[in-house]
Each structure stands twice: as structure tokens, then as C-alpha cells.
Amino acid sequence: MSSGRDHHTARAARRPLLAAAATATGLAWKGARGGVLMLGVAAVLGGVAPVLVAWLTRAVLDGIGGGTPVSELVALGAGLALTGVLSALLPQLEQYLRAEVDRSASRLGVERLHAAVDRFIGLGRFEDPHFLDRLRLAGDSVRSPAEIVAAALAVARGLLVLAGFLVSLLMLSPVMALVVVAAAGPTLLAELALSRRRAGMTLDITPAERRELFYNNLLTSPAAAKEIRLFGAGGFLRARMMAERRTADRARRATDRRELVAQGGLAVLAAVVAGGGLVWAIRSAHAHALSVGDVSLFILAVAGVQGALGSVISALAGAHHRLLLIAHYRAMITAEPDLPALAVSRPVPPLRRGIELRDVWFRYADGHPWILKGVNLTIPAGTATALVGRNGAGKSTLVKLLCRFYDPTRGAVLWDGVDLRELDPRLLRERITAVFQDFVEYDLSASENIGIGDVARIDDPGPIRLAARRAGVHADLVALPYGYDTLLSRMFMTESDRADPRTGVVLSGGQWQRLALARAFVRDARDLMILDEPSAGLDAAAEYEVHAGLRRHREGRTSVLISHRLGAVRDADSIVVLDGGVVAEQGSHADLLAADGTYATLFRLQAAGYTGDDDAPEPGRRMDVVP
């Protein structure tokens, strides 16, 4: 009963390995068919050559003692020399072919992996550490997928050599043949166990490696350099990084030690078998049961069988380890979508009536606190809605739900009455433009930094410049050393660039902010515009200018603006105060002032901050006050 279950478990464990083998072979075959075929030919030649050498050597030795004509001996010698040349050349050729197959297969694998990652439409996966670990392993494993093919060919070549020498050995001594093969059994089992342990260890240390990489990046990142230096946090972070390195190294050392003990024992076993065989051969030759040529063939055959078994076993173990890693790649490219997708999702029509959040509850994961606790909100088409609320009230979360980066845990977001879950998310996002609070500063040219908002037109300067003008950053960009073509990065500078003071321009925080705005503007004529703190980091004049521009731009469009600066939201058609996970207040600026609730209190408080009026009301609850 239990053995049947064990059998079943073993089969189930083998299945992903077989699937991984098929994946790796498929990549190599699709990537470099010719190279794989040539590697196959090289493997066959490599399998035949050593056996041929052993038999030719025997013939030469016995020929010298047995009066074979010299011409025949020379021919045998020439055959030996030729086989030697072939054996010497094969490894170089194989190395070249393997690298070539690896490059092609790896390109294909990396492309497929990234295409698969791009298919995850939500953000949840990227916030899951387990997923990130797997992704890293998948990326590593796909760097040399052809290793599986190389291992398979090494096994084939090893088996050929093995067969040739085993036949030779069987002819000389069946008992010795049996002993040599039997001694290989423990080696195979031990090597497979070691490779499984090594693959397990690789997975175990991935979190530590990821954290080490994080500290390493932090310690060398220009963005963090300021704070780390001012706060003197370098030593602290370095100690953390080294602790992670030590943790990973401890696990690596334990595996290496295990391998040392196991492989040392196996090497001793092999040497004892070979030594015993040699004693037997010497005694047999002494008793004239074996010729000199037979002894030479015997020695070469024992070494050949052991060598071939060793290389078959280590190729199998290496392949096993690789396959366990490639299984992560396979899991990645065959993973289910992160957000449930309908078999046939509907196209997304232009927004006519509006977006409705109907009793939306949301938390980032089971067991996490609720961020939204039954939000009911309508954003009518063609109107400007402002979202305000304290830090952490869930404003950014709400706009992420509008883009369907997550699905509500309960309730629904409706686009003209249709649940977002029924719409094609890519088409939905085609209809949205946004400036996120944590917008990206791309290490690309100024023009590309804007154009990436509408990739189809990234090479079209017209819309890019227009967007830059609207965001009030055109003059700054024109003034850059290479205008819009200036690379906004110090990351990709070459040695020759370094000598040119015009390269590697660094923008100010406010300039980056406007560039992000321009990126949103270049996606013109979208149905919904999301602006999450679009004026953070702008000077007073720029903020005024940007908000005036935004007001003009928003006219007649559907927009959602998040801002802590209440002066910037006062002319929105509807102001929504999020508090405690629900809509606490909603109305126009005048309505909310008249209602004299949280918004009114905060607005007066901020206004007092500007005018220096000390009679401002006390805020009922701590909210952000941006003077």
C-alpha cells in the first residue's frame, strides 16, 4: 500500500523534471538546431574514440611482440595518431558549439521569461517575495539552458564509451566487469542525492542572496548615497549585507563539505576497485593467461569504464540540479494569470456615464488590515474628482483599483456599469493616463522619458514637445546640452562620455515631476486621467502654473486628483474625503465648507498656515498639513 504511494510520489516528483527537460531541450532545439545536431555528432565521435584508442594500442603492443609486418604496425600507429588528433580537437569544438547553442537558447529563454512576466497584469506578484525568489532562479537557470542538452549528450557519449569498454572488459574478465559496474551504483545514488541537496540549498539561500543584493544596490546607489553618508549608515548597512553573505556561505559550505566527504569516499572506492583489478591482471599475465596487449587493454578498459561511469553520473547529477532550477523557469512561463481573466473579455468602450465603486472592500492580502471598508463612490464622466485624506487613508490604493492593478476583495469597480473584471485590462489601461506618486525616473533621454507614455509615438517629437510645454518643462529640456536627446542618467556613461561635461545630466526633483506630468499628457485623449500628488516637489510658482495647466487640461475630461494641498483641489467638481476606509464626506468645495466637517477644518488650518492666522480651528484628527 505504502510502496504504491511511494511509487506514485516518486513519479509525481519526476514529472516536473521531465517537463523541465522538455522545456530546456525545446529551447536549445528552437534556438540553435544546427548546433545541437553538430554537438550530437561530436558526442558520438567522442564516445567511439577512446575505445578505438584502447583496441589500437592492444593491437600495436601484441603486434610488436608477435611479428606483425612493420607496414601494418605503422598503419595502426597512424590510426592511433589520427584518433589522438580527433580526441584533442573534439573538446575545443564542443566547447565552441555549446557556447553558441547556449547563447541562442538563452536569448530565446530570456525573451520568453520576460514576455511571461509582462503577462502578469496586476501588481500582487511583484510584491510577493516567494515569487521574486522564483523569478530570480528562473532568470539564472535560463542563462544556460543548453547545459541540459550538453549533459544529455555527455550521458550518450559516456554510455557509448561505457558499452565499448564493458564489452572489452567482459571479454577479459566478466567478474571484473561486474565489480566495476557494481561499484558505480552507490556513486550514482550519492551524486543524485547531492544534486537534490544542492538545488534545495540554492532555493533556501535565495532570500538571503536577494537581501544581500538589496543592501549592495543600496550602498552603491546614487539615490541613497546622500542619506547613507549624512546619517553615517554605511557601516550598519554593510554589516547587514555581510551577515546575509555569511548566512548564504554557511549553507554553501555545509553542502560543499557533504560533497567532499561523499565524493572522497567514492574516489577511494574507485581506486580500490582499479587497484584490485591491476593486481589480478599482473597475476594473470604472469601465469600467461593474458598477453601484454591484454593487460594494456584491461588497464585502459577499467579506467575507461570508471571514467565513463563517472562522467555519466556527474552529467546526470549536473542535469538533475539544472532541471530542478529550470523547473522554476517552467513554472514562471506556465503560471496562471495573477488576476482572474475571462476567456473572452470585452472590449473597453469610451467612458460615457462614469466609473462607480460599489461597496468596495480591499486589503493587500489575507490577514492584512482592511484598507477600504465599503467605499461607494461615483466618478461621473467628464468631471474632476479630488481625493483627499490622511496619509495611509487608501487614496493611492483606490486609484490602483481603478487601473485594475488589483481586484477588490469584495464589491466591484464598474466602467459604465461593466465590472472591470470583465474588461480586457490592456484595453482598459489604453483608456487611462496617470502620474503616480512614485513615478519612475527612467535612465533614458529626455524625449524618451516623455515618449514612453505613448510608446507608439516615442519617435514623434511633435506630441512629446507639446506635452512638455503643457507640463511646463519644455524650456528646461531645450536648455539641456543635447536638448530633448540628452541622456538623463549617469548610469550608462561610457569612458568617452565622461570627458564630455554635457553628458549625464541630472534633473532636479521638480523637473522630474514635470517630466512625469508630460509623460501622462503625451497619452492624450484618454478617458480617465489619474493624478496622484502631481505637484509634490514643485515650487510655488510652478505649482500654480501646473495646476492652472491641469485645470485647463482637465476641462471636460474625467480626472481623479489626489493632493494634500487643499488649495489645489478646491475647484474640483467633487471633493471626496476618504477616512476610516470609507467616503467620509463628498461635495464641492463650497458644500464641504458649509458642512463644516473634516475638510472644512483642514482647509481653514492650511489657509491659516499661509496667512498666519492663529485662530484657526484645531484639527479633529491628525491629517496632513502641507503649509
| Site residues for ligand ATP per CB under 6 A | 127, 364, 371, 389, 391-397, 437
The rounded distance, in Å, linking the Cα atoms of 71 and 53 is 19
Residues sharing a CB contact under 8 Å with residue 194, sequence separation 6 or more, in sequence order: 255, 258, 259, 262, 263, 317
**Cβ proximity to ligand ATP, 6 vs 127, nearer residue:** 127
374 three-class SS: strand
Q: Residue 178 is which amino acid?
A: L
CB 398 within 8 Å of CB 420: no
Pairing of strands 582-587, 432-435: unpaired
C-alpha cell at 277: 583489478
**Cβ proximity to ligand ATP, 144 vs 397, nearer residue:** 397
**Cβ proximity to ligand ATP, 129 vs 185, nearer residue:** 129
- Which H/E stretch holds residue 379? strand 372-380
- Provide, rounded to whole angstroms, the least separation between the CB of residue 434 and ligand ATP: 13
- Provide, rounded to whole angstroms, the least separation between the CB of residue 432 and ligand ATP: 17
Nearest Cα neighbor of 348 from 424, 443, 421 is 424
**Cβ proximity to ligand ATP, 121 vs 393, nearer residue:** 393
- Provide, rounded to whole angstroms, the least separation between the CB of residue 124 and ligand ATP: 8
99 three-class SS: helix
Residues sharing a CB contact under 8 Å with residue 514, sequence separation 6 or more, in sequence order: 471, 472, 473, 476, 538, 542, 546
**Cβ proximity to ligand ATP, 112 vs 410, nearer residue:** 410
- Provide, rounded to whole angstroms, the least separation between the CB of residue 589 and ligand ATP: 20
**Cβ proximity to ligand ATP, 315 vs 393, nearer residue:** 393
Q: At CA 26, angle to CA 23 and CA 30, rounded to 5? A: 145
CB 487 within 8 Å of CB 503: yes
The rounded distance, in Å, linking the Cα atoms of 116 and 329 is 10
**Cβ proximity to ligand ATP, 58 vs 395, nearer residue:** 395
The rounded distance, in Å, linking the Cα atoms of 437 and 434 is 9
The rounded distance, in Å, linking the Cα atoms of 340 and 121 is 10
CB 149 within 8 Å of CB 28: yes
- Provide, rounded to whole angstroms, the least separation between the CB of residue 89 and ligand ATP: 57
- Provide, rounded to whole angstroms, the least separation between the CB of residue 393 and ligand ATP: 4
- Provide, rounded to whole angstroms, the least separation between the CB of residue 310 and ligand ATP: 51
- Within a 10 A sphere around the Cβ of 275, how many other Cβ atoms? 11
- Within a 10 A sphere around the Cβ of 140, how many other Cβ atoms? 16
- Provide, rounded to whole angstroms, the least separation between the CB of residue 516 and ligand ATP: 15
- Provide, rounded to whole angstroms, the least separation between the CB of residue 388 and ligand ATP: 9
C-alpha cell at 155: 550521458
The rounded distance, in Å, linking the Cα atoms of 617 and 506 is 43
**Cβ proximity to ligand ATP, 67 vs 369, nearer residue:** 369
**Cβ proximity to ligand ATP, 54 vs 372, nearer residue:** 372
- Provide, rounded to whole angstroms, the least separation between the CB of residue 534 and ligand ATP: 13
The rounded distance, in Å, linking the Cα atoms of 513 and 551 is 17
**Cβ proximity to ligand ATP, 394 vs 425, nearer residue:** 394
- Provide, rounded to whole angstroms, the least separation between the CB of residue 581 and ligand ATP: 9
- Provide, rounded to whole angstroms, the least separation between the CB of residue 369 and ligand ATP: 7
**Cβ proximity to ligand ATP, 369 vs 501, nearer residue:** 369
- Provide, rounded to whole angstroms, the least separation between the CB of residue 338 and ligand ATP: 13
CB hemisphere CA count around 386 (13 angstroms): 26
**Cβ proximity to ligand ATP, 77 vs 124, nearer residue:** 124
- Provide, rounded to whole angstroms, the least separation between the CB of residue 324 and ligand ATP: 31
Side-by-side strand order, sheet with 432-435: 432-435, 528-532, 558-562, 384-388, 574-579, 582-587
- Provide, rounded to whole angstroms, the least separation between the CB of residue 407 and ligand ATP: 14
**Cβ proximity to ligand ATP, 489 vs 598, nearer residue:** 598
For 92-131, letters b (16+ CB in 10 Å) and e give ebbeebbebbbebbbebbbebbeebbeebbbbbbeeeeeb
Helix/strand/coil (H, E, C) string of 238-262?
HHHHHHHHHHHHHHHHHHHHHHHHH
Q: In the block, which residue shows the cell 511511494?
A: 6
Q: Residue 331 is which amino acid?
A: A
The H-assigned helical ranges of 32-125 are 33-66, 70-119
**Cβ proximity to ligand ATP, 21 vs 528, nearer residue:** 528
- Which H/E stretch holds residue 148? helix 146-172
**Cβ proximity to ligand ATP, 324 vs 530, nearer residue:** 530
- Which H/E stretch holds residue 561? strand 558-562
578 three-class SS: strand
**Cβ proximity to ligand ATP, 402 vs 446, nearer residue:** 402
- Provide, rounded to whole angstroms, the least separation between the CB of residue 545 and ligand ATP: 23
Nearest Cα neighbor of 362 from 404, 318, 320 is 404
- Which H/E stretch holds residue 356? strand 354-362
The rounded distance, in Å, linking the Cα atoms of 166 and 159 is 10
| Max Cα-Cα span within the chain | 123
